[in-house]
Each structure stands twice: as structure tokens, then as C-alpha cells.
Amino acid sequence: MGTIVRFAPSPTGRLHIGNIRTAVLNYLFALKSGGRFLLRLDDTDIERSTEAFAEGIRRDLAWLGFDISWQVRQSDRIARYDLVAERMKAAGLLYPCFESEDELERRRKRQMARGQPPIYDRASLRMSGDERARLEAEGRRPHWRFRLPNTESADQLVPLPTLVSWNDLIRGDQTVDIGSLSDPVLQRADGSYLYTFTSVVDDIELGITHVVRGADHITNTGVQIALFEALDAVPPAFAHHSLLVDGDGQALSKRLGALSIEGLREAGYEPMAVLSHAALVGTSDAIEPHASMETLAAAFDFAKISLAPGRFDASELEGLNARLLHTLEHVAVRDRLTALGVGGGEAFWLAVRGNLVKLADARMWWDIATGEVRPVVEDARLLSVAASLLPNEPWDTATWGAWTNAVKGATGAKGRALFHPLRLALTGRESGPELKTLLPFIGRERALARLSS
């Protein structure tokens, strides 16, 4: 069977640079191995999941260039979860518990006061049928816990150390002691299911071969492997990548609006800059712009991913965006330049692309070349001479050199004393594109007006 991976966001917020990294790593692995990539919307949290967030996720992935031909929603699969849950209940793998959250919290506090680990003590397994019937008659509805396959002491239902191990594709040999964990709740009292359960059922039935996700899921993986085995299924291979942190070392949150994919798109970043950063940050590869998913996939290797958290640096992304723009051919941006109101064709693009950080900056330089500019006068005498020596049009890239040589001969100015006053007068800026390429777009009439101000 070929490789099948999945990206499984909850539509309870916007995608951000941290969780898009998980999507990118899954996608590149599938692309490199000739496998399939599944988008699964984990939308069983009815109160917080919205169609607007679901559509936002699809829009973000489409903008980034993900080719998604296979999508499922957990809310469409409730009947499947019901069937599996009933089968587990009949087999004694799920057992009912009637404690309220307050009762469980008081029990945890007593355990900690006695120096015991605050895990569920399986008290419900000691209840008689009559006791359960009485609670149900009182209107109590149980939540259902998965009985972890850990060994117990001979005289009571207290879990003893029980290890679940796997070879992680990123982190190597991993072990989780499920004897130190509470039996997880898989079904709430209202009948809804938790992620631990629905994810495993989906991974089995959808044929997921590899689960690539953040290191914050490692403990959960131990529980899920036990659940796979309880359902007589072979667990997929697991790869737990390091998390992204911000400049203060804090894990990135979906509440960081500025770092949402929507926010980055609106800020003018290029999709391949975002993808390149997400794929390469926290790896042994240099963070450099890639023009396509295919080139990123060709270099992809789990062995390159560091175990230490990757650090997201907004300035690094900005630099990466600029470097990507500096390499793009005009055909790749032609329609977007037209939409921005930028003319001049390929010649103008080649003149300004080396000075862009965001594509929208091209409009600024178009306005400088063809619109109104407030000249800065640094050397009035030099500008007066330069104005008198302006050649007639037509102009091309050789015009700048011929003209400045004439001004140099007439004034004796050279180097910065020659070029800086001319740049300030012609563009109003300290720096920018080479004036030999920009001057033809300014034209003689505007140049003369600016030099004479």
C-alpha cells in the first residue's frame, strides 16, 4: 500500500505558521514518496467549530498551493464512531463512569495529598450493577473510558508501569508509560467523542500509513497505539516534529492573528516564501527560497529535522520573501502587477525586483517613476547643471551613464557627490533601483521638473 498521510486541523480558528508546518511536512513527505495527502477536518467540537473557519482552512491551503483532492469531515462520520464505540463497550474495552468533574477534582486532590499520582483509580469498575442502575435512575449519564492495557496490582485496580514503545521516524526510539496515565475518556456524557478516539478510527478506516505531527502529541501517541491494538489494527508509523516558538520561546498559538496564514497573506507575503520557511525552519538545511513544492520535496528528509524547537523569526521570513521576489521572472508576476496598477512590462520588473520586499512595493516604485515626487535638494548647483545637460529622448539604459559623465565633466563631482544628489532629486529616496534602468521610465519631462524644483 502506498503512503497516505493526513493533516487534521480543527475548524475552531485560523491556521497559523506553527500548525501549517505540520501540513507542509506531511505534504512534502507524500509528494516525495508518491503518496496521497488527506485533509481531515476534526469538527466534532460542535460549539467551537464553524463553517467559516473550515472554509478559511481550505482557502489558506489553496493559497499555499496544496493540491487536495481528498477531504473528509469527522462530523460526517458519527455513525462510524457509534458502531466502533458500541463494539468496544460490548467487549469491555470502554466502561461507564459516573463521576462529575467536581468529584474527580476532589479525588485528585486527595491523591496528591497522599503523595499518589493524580490518575483515575478505576473506581467505576468496582461498582455493582445495582449501583450503576441507581445512578442512571437518578438521571446521571456516564462518560466512557478506554481501559488501557496496563497491568494491575494483585489486590486492587491500580495500574502498574506498562510501557508502549515505537520507533519514531524523527525522534528514534520512544517509550510512554501508560501505567502512569488515567484511562482516557473517549466518549462524553452527552454522547460526543474525543479526538483520541475519532482520530484512531479514522486512521484505521482511511488507511493512514504515517502520522506526522507535533511533539506535544507524544504521550497521546502511547495511548493511541494501545487503542489501535485494542481494535486489532496495526498502528501507522509516527513522526513527531519539534514545535515552533516565537522570539520569546513561547509556542505559537492559533490566537496569534499576525502569524495566521490569512494574516501573512494580507501582509503581502509570497506563498512559496511561507512554505519555504515552514519546511526549512528547525532543520539542518539552510533557510532559502524555493520556487516550488517539488524542489522542497526533493530535499525533504525526516533525519534533517532538529529535536530542538524551531524559532520563527518574522524578519527572517521577510528576508526570505525578498530573496524569492528577486529571483522571479516577469511571467510569474505579470497578472498580479497588472492588478496592482503597475505598468512597464518586463523591463520595469527587472529594474525594480531587486529592491522589493513585498510585491506591492513595485507599485511604490511605479508611482515614483511615473507619478508625483517631492524632490530632495542636496546640491542645487549640481542639479542646475544636470538639468541643463539632460539629453533628448528617446532614453534607454545607456542614457544614465552618458548623462552623468557629462555632469561629471562640467562640475568635477564624482562618486557619492555626483550620484547621491541626483538620486534624491529624481526619486526622493536615499536608495533604490539602479537609476540607469529606472531613468527611462521617469522620462525627460519629469526628470527636468524634479531637477529644477
Q: What is the pLDDT of residue 157?
A: 63
**Using CA atoms, how far apart are residues 270 and 336, in angstroms rounded to an integer?**
12
Q: What is the pLDDT of residue 372?
A: 93
294: cell is: 517539488
* Residue 372: burial class (beta carbons within 10 Å; 0-12, 13-18, 19+): exposed
User: Which residue's C-alpha cell is 497522599?
Assistant: 114
**Using CA atoms, how far apart are residues 453 and 447, in angstroms rounded to an integer?**
10
* Residue 55: burial class (beta carbons within 10 Å; 0-12, 13-18, 19+): exposed
Positions of E strands within 68-203: 71-73, 94-97, 143-146, 163-168, 172-177, 185-187
CA distances from 262 to 170, 269, 277 (A): 29, 10, 16
Q: What is the pLDDT of residue 155?
A: 57
Q: What is the pLDDT of residues 231-256, one digit of tens each?
A: 999 999 999 999 988 777 777 654 55
User: Which residue's C-alpha cell is 467536581?
Assistant: 102
Cα within 13 Å of Cα(99), Cβ side: 18
**Low-confidence residues of the chain: pLDDT under 70:** 1, 151-160, 252-258
CA distances from 155 to 158, 403, 442 (A): 9, 99, 91
Whether the upstream peptide bond of residue 394 has omega within 30° of 0, thus cis, is yes
User: Which residue's C-alpha cell is 500548525?
Assistant: 19
User: Which residue's C-alpha cell is 511605479?
Assistant: 366
Q: Is the dihedral of CA 337, 340, 343, 349 positive or negative?
A: negative
Residues 6+ apart with CB under 8 A from 292: 272
Q: What is the pLDDT of residues 137-170, one digit of tens each?
A: 888 899 999 999 986 665 556 666 789 999 999 9
SS3 (DSSP) at 37: strand
Measure the CA angle with vertex 271, ends 267 and 274; round to 5°: 80
Q: Which of 313, 416, 340 is nearest to 352 (CA)?
A: 340
Q: Which of 206, 214, 120, 221 is nearest to 164 (CA)?
A: 221
**Using CA atoms, how far apart are residues 63 and 60, in angstroms rounded to an integer?**
5
Q: Which of 252, 235, 420, 438 is nearest to 349 (CA)?
A: 438
**Using CA atoms, how far apart are residues 351 and 258, in angstroms rounded to an integer?**
31
Q: What is the pLDDT of residue 64?
A: 96
Q: Which helix (H) or strand (E) holds 244?
A: strand 244-245
Phi-psi region of 305 (alpha: psi -120 to 50; beta: other; left: phi over 0): beta
Measure the CA angle with vertex 280, ends 275 and 284; round to 5°: 170
Q: What is the pLDDT of residue 69?
A: 80
Query: Exposed e or buried b for every residue in 85-108, given b needs 16+ CB within 10 A?
Result: beebeeeebbbbbbbeeeebeeeb
Q: Which helix (H) or strand (E) holds 211?
A: strand 210-214
**Using CA atoms, how far apart are residues 17 and 271, in angstroms rounded to an integer?**
12
Q: What is the pLDDT of residue 177?
A: 93
- The pair phi, psi for residue 165, each rounded to 5°, is -125, 155
